[in-house]
Structure 1
Amino acid sequence: MEDSIDSAIRCLELLEDQPDPPAVYVAIHGHDYETINWYVGTFLDRATHIDKSFEGFAIGSLVPLRTNVEMLVDIVQGAKDAIPADREDDLGLHLFGISGKFTALLTLLGADSFDSSSYMQAAQFKKFINREIGVSDEELVRNPNASTHDLGDFGVDVDRTADARWAADWSKFTADQIPDDWGCQCPACEHLRRIGFEQLQSTMYDSKSYDRDGYMKSDFYALMSYHNFCVYQDEMNHVRKLINDSGGELLEYVAKMARNDVGNIKRALKRATVRDRELAQQLRERGYNRLVADQSDAEQERLDLDIPVDDQEISLEHTPEDFNILDRKDYRVGDERVLLVIPCSQTKPYSNSRTHRVVADATAEWNDQIHKVTVSGMYGPVPEQYENLSQIKSYEYVLTNAEKQRQQLVVDRLVSYLEEYGSQFDAIVGYATSKTYRTVIEQAFAQYGDGVVLPKEPKMRALTEHFRTTNLEELSEHLDDVLSSTPPQ
């Protein structure tokens, strides 16, 4: 990915000399928050001299993830969180291959533009995209607009019950199963009514490439594709209108989609609130408490990954009692001179993550002098030698600012660790930029009475700063000063 950044910057540098260069979106490929966040932050840090043609980022390789809504949320949040607030209005975020039912949600999270060919691919299989919702065993709502057709309007409990049959949400039906009461008013369906749906079915299923009435199968493939496109475009236009209304209507619309359980939007929105506490607060203020990740959700938010982490299953069963370094009888500190404390990562083992690798690269010169301890939101301090334990590799947890009890547990364990082992080091250094983990490390160092947290003055408390070259250089220079000026104990 370093080569990708180099190539993108070189391309933009060449365009700087042109009088009227084209607009360029830098393509990114990554399947987790951390990778996308690193790429965007690193690129922006290195592209400060680019002025003319750079317009934003375009995220690819998303089509296989359409069923993994939590990962889509992670990817969009990873990109948006890396863009400084003063550049949010200047840089666009485009998503390749994703649209339709996800448009409103991903727009709410910060995506600006979309493209998709799934409307055409559906037509290739003779399928119409439909947005009907079954509200009972007898009653269907055809083509509902979720801003006005809340299932609560039909007297149906918003939770799934035996009385609420959710027959379809952005579902598809084939051309030989067109409902008798099909009422779509799009231009394609109006044209099909003039031709006759029976003619469509006869040509598509009973003839070869064309029939005696002069219609070819390709005529109807095109009309089905046009219908599907109109469904997508109608949703896009509606989202644009909600954005222009600018009174929270987009949030309300997404919340209703989630409450009505359209296309796993509820799972995705809950996932988004784990990191975005402002979004969580806005939902609570509107009465959508059940759409916000509660403490148990945030503690063990499982990533529905297609690729296992070193063949380890992610477990929801772990608790802080499954690992506590203070209870380990086999732990010994070696002859390293510096204790380096850094936050945990989504990738396991931690040392394989991009966040840990950039720190390892920045401190490689003193590798044999550093004793690395990772601060886990689940377990507190985890020395590097224990990273491959199953309970360390198989939990998934995001420590947030709202979880005061868990923060205190982590602080207490880190303080106890420092009281037990801190005196064996010449220096204690923390490197953390994400707000919650930095706060935890700062509090522990303050209670213990020793230790410095770097960077000393990050531009913002966010993961993006973790990858900033100047911050990593500050860590490197600090270690150089400590190890060159302090005699070994």
Structure 2
Amino acid sequence: MTYLEYVVEKVSQNGRVGRLSYNGQDFRTPLLFPVVSLITGTTANGGGLWKYILQADHSNGLLRRNLPVMSQVLHFLDFIPKKQNALATWRKLGIKRRYLEDVCLPVEYTAPIFLDSGGFKLLWNNSIDLSAYGLSMEDGQGFQSILKLQENFGGDIIATLDYPLPPKLAASEAKERMQKSLDNAIAAARLLQKPSHWKPFLYVAAHGQDRDSMSNYVRQVFDEAEKEELKYYNFGLAVGSLVPLRGAHKTTIIVDLIKGLQDSIPAHRKNITPIHVFGITGSLIPILAYLGVDSFDSSSYVQETRSLSYINPETMRPQPVLEMEELTCNYRVCQQANLEHIQDALISEVSGKPVHNGNYKSKYYADIALHNLEMDFRIVDQTREAIEADYLQEYLIEHIKKLKHLQPAIDAIASEDIELKIRLSRTLISVSKKQEFKKNEQVISLKYKPDDFNVLNNGYAPLSGKHIMLIIPCSGEKPYSKSRSHRFITERIEKALGDVTTLVDKVTLSGLYGPVPEKYEDAALVVMHELAISIVDCLDKKLYLRSP
């Protein structure tokens, strides 16, 4: 097997340019890995939207263009669940061979495939049942099961099995999950450094709740790496748990986490340790590259497509594709596309067969997705060019001028970068006082289960004098009655009913526990529990099922 090698080509004061060499091909960093679903059916011919993103569009498909891609190793659970025989064939032949042999016009894909561990599925869970496939995540076997799948599918780059940290998780539970991630990483590295025909490049997943905990985590990784059996084993670091922070616009925390990671990389390891960030792309790319991040991955290009959003090439903001009058992008998929056909297809009620202009809906969803992805590629290319020209600081400042919401992130960097701070003082008005973190945020716990609270077991009865039961959905903020949505409902009811409001007994429907009467809202097991559904998991299924 051809090994992958990472080399730093240029280190500037701000950011660096590197090279991933694989199979006689060179890929420059900073580099973007599009996140894709590769196993979407019993053969490589299926896939709905993914079929066109990957290979059915012969001019623009990512595999046809031989671009490096990332895939979550457990994504097959969303497409061929409980089809053990079908998965067995994928495992026997590997992904690249399936696309070479199954597709009518064979896909001769030779670029590296980055297989993530699927740890994101563990963001709100402690385990996944893989027993149907002869695999187990229990009793310390998880990292081996994931490694086996990564090997079977032919991963050229892989990430260790990790347990991401939900925002606001109790510190004790975060420490426990970080230790499990660390144990998996070291065990995987020890196993992979032994003689074998399969030698993927390993990224150790890294997590932390703040700068200190991230720094401590990475320090432990390298303490283990300096031991004799791993002393000459090269690996990268892949930062996880950032997607929820990005969604909550907590960019200064993201900056601090990257700083914490950099703090603990030994000097002699810095130029041989590539840094990847999971799930962060778009406008944060120049900021993260400035901090020394080498690669990124993106699934947002597909998420934006689901909402029928087209990234405007000028403003880099999403706009409704159904309201557009022309395609202003000069990227080739847009030059080949017909906006009227796209809009007609997206509103068509035809399903399971070509729309009136001869193509399946999936083709038009893919057109939008590939355009959106190209906008991310463009930012990465511009960032790399700025580093090569020793112009990244200037590029970053111009970038922030257009995107004021990123000002807190650059202020966080400037707090330890005197040159940048001086330049900012000349060109921008600092808003560093507007920090986004809150000192008294309610912590959450993942330890609570549905049976921990049952209103029927608590002897509940409506309070005396209450004759009306109001049942409303739960809110993300707790206690429920103090949330914005519940306060709004209460205010409207009081305004409409007046004194009759005293007759109302409010019950909230919790996603975990079911009915929660108001008198129990302050209980720790109600306030601290957290139930979340992975939007990413749902996304693949909906886009796959929407059209062939």
| Larger relative contact order, structure 1 or 2 (CA cutoff 8 Å, min sep 6) | 2
TM-score, normalised by the number of residues in structure 1: 0.49
- TM-score scaled by structure 2? 0.44
Q: Considering fraction of residues, name the structure with more helix.
A: 1
Q: Which is greater in Rg?
A: 1
